[in-house]
């Protein structure tokens, strides 16, 4: 077991955003955290990657109490690709990727040949080697997101925490990012907005609703029309896709009658 979260509870003032959340991630798993907007996905992930501190609960990473680990040590173990990757200053692409090396270094250490090699390699992995000298702020949304993923790769961690990493990316980049992360064979815990993407890439899912885990299981177990209606209030037809073999969901508009749904 790589990550174990037990009874994680967190409130923003009066607003309880995570309520006794329990989840675990085994080595090599790709785990999805899904649920409607505002259900607490980012709150749970922020507590795991230590941008927030739980009010109650325990989190262990590789058997160690994560909440007692130094920030540097947890940064070595967890690579984070957040939802909004605001970079306040206009760094070059290669400088941003080089920031992934910082948990490995002491303050004021300069980048050595190995750091430079890793940065170049990470950019090349994402087909971005030609963009190393570009200004980050001038890139498109998809390019920026690939830079942030390259930074996570440069960190050389084998556990990725992703918060809707492909939001606002068009479909080719969404697929590219998930395919790429899958090929890295790292352990992943990712909030995912798109249920079909979650079905395509995840081994198991946890479903949050109003701060609580209400469902858990494989995509096949979780994605039934009844469950989808219960969580999102939307009717759907669910089947196994003939090519991917994965669960595929078609959402049904209100005017389509129930009996035209063949399942």
Please give the radius of gyration of the chain, using alpha carbons only, rounded to the nearest integer.
Answer: 19
Shortest spacing between CB 38 and Mg ion, in angstroms: 8
Shortest spacing between CB 49 and ligand ADP, in angstroms: 13
Measured CA to CA, the distance from residue 181 to residue 201 in angstroms comes to 10
| Nearby residues of 130 by Cβ (< 8 Å), 6 or more positions away | none
Q: Does 165 bind ligand ADP (CB under 6 A)?
A: no
Residue 15 binding partner per list Mg ion, ligand ADP, none, with a CB distance cut-off of 5 to 8 Å that depends on partner kind: ligand ADP
SS3 197: helix
Q: Which residue has the tokens 């040949």?
A: 113
Sheet of 64-65, strands arranged across: 15-25, 3-12, 56-61, 64-65
Q: Which is nearer to ligand ADP, 48 or 131 (CB)?
A: 48
Q: Which of 8, 17, 61, 78 binds ligand ADP (CB under 6 A)?
A: 17
Shortest spacing between CB 174 and ligand ADP, in angstroms: 18
Q: Which is nearer to Mg ion, 115 or 163 (CB)?
A: 163
Measured CA to CA, the distance from residue 110 to residue 107 in angstroms comes to 9
Q: Which is nearer to ligand ADP, 42 or 166 (CB)?
A: 42
Nearest residue to Mg ion, scored by beta-carbon proximity: 42
Q: Enter the tokens of residue 57.
A: 């609960």
Strand 3-12 with 15-25, pairing: antiparallel
> Do residues 56 and 8 make contact, with C-beta atoms less than 8 angstroms apart?
yes
Q: Enter the tokens of residue 206.
A: 């946890």
Q: Does 41 bind ligand ADP (CB under 6 A)?
A: yes
H or E element, residue 106? none
Describe the chain by its helix, strand, coil percentages, rounded to 5.
40, 25, 35
Residue 165 binding partner per list Mg ion, ligand ADP, none, with a CB distance cut-off of 5 to 8 Å that depends on partner kind: none
Shortest spacing between CB 73 and ligand ADP, in angstroms: 25
Q: Which of 40, 100, 165, 219 binds ligand ADP (CB under 6 A)?
A: 40
> Do residues 164 and 192 make contact, with C-beta atoms less than 8 angstroms apart?
yes
Q: Which is nearer to ligand ADP, 40 or 165 (CB)?
A: 40
Sort 140 into a burial class: Cβ within 10 Å, 0-12 / 13-18 / 19+: exposed
- Site size toward ligand ADP (CB under 6 A) is 11
Q: Does 124 bind ligand ADP (CB under 6 A)?
A: no
Q: Which is nearer to Mg ion, 126 or 197 (CB)?
A: 197
Shortest spacing between CB 19 and ligand ADP, in angstroms: 11
**Binding positions for ligand ADP, 42-61, rule CB under 6 A:** 42-43
Q: Which is nearer to ligand ADP, 103 or 211 (CB)?
A: 211
Q: Which stretch binds ligand ADP (CB under 6 A): 23-31, 35-43, 125-133, 151-159?
A: 35-43
Give the footprint of ligand ADP on this chain (CB under 6 A): 12, 15, 17, 35, 37-43
């Amino acid at each position: 077991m790589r990550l174990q979260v037990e009874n994680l509870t967190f409130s923003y003032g009066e607003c309880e955003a995570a309520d006794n959340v329990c989840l675990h991630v085994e080595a090599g798993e790709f785990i999805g955290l899904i649920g409607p907007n505002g259900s607490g996905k980012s709150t749970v992930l922020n507590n795991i990657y230590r941008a927030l501190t739980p009010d109650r609960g325990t989190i262990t990473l590789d058997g160690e109490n994560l909440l007692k680990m130094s920030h540097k040590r947890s940064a070595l173990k967890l690579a984070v690709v957040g939802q909004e990757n605001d970079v306040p200053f206009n760094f070059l692409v290669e400088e941003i990727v080089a920031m992934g090396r910082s948990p490995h270094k002491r303050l004021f250490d300069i980048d050595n040949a190995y750091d430079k090699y890793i940065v170049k390699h990470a950019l090349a992995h994402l087909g971005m080697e030609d963009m190393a000298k570009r200004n980050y702020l001038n890139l498109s949304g998809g390019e920026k997101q690939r830079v942030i993923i390259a930074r996570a790769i440069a960190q050389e961690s084998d556990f990725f925490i992703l918060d809707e990493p492909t939001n606002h990316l068009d479909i080719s980049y969404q697929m590219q990012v998930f395919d790429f992360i899958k090929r890295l064979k790292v352990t992943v815990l990712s909030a995912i907005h798109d249920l079909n993407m979650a079905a395509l890439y995840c081994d198991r899912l946890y479903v949050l609703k109003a701060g609580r885990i209400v469902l858990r299981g494989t995509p096949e177990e979780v994605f039934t029309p009844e469950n989808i209606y219960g969580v999102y209030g939307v009717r759907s037809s669910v089947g196994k896709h003939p090519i991917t073999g994965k669960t595929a969901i078609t959402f049904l508009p209100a005017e389509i009658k129930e009996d035209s749904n063949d399942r």
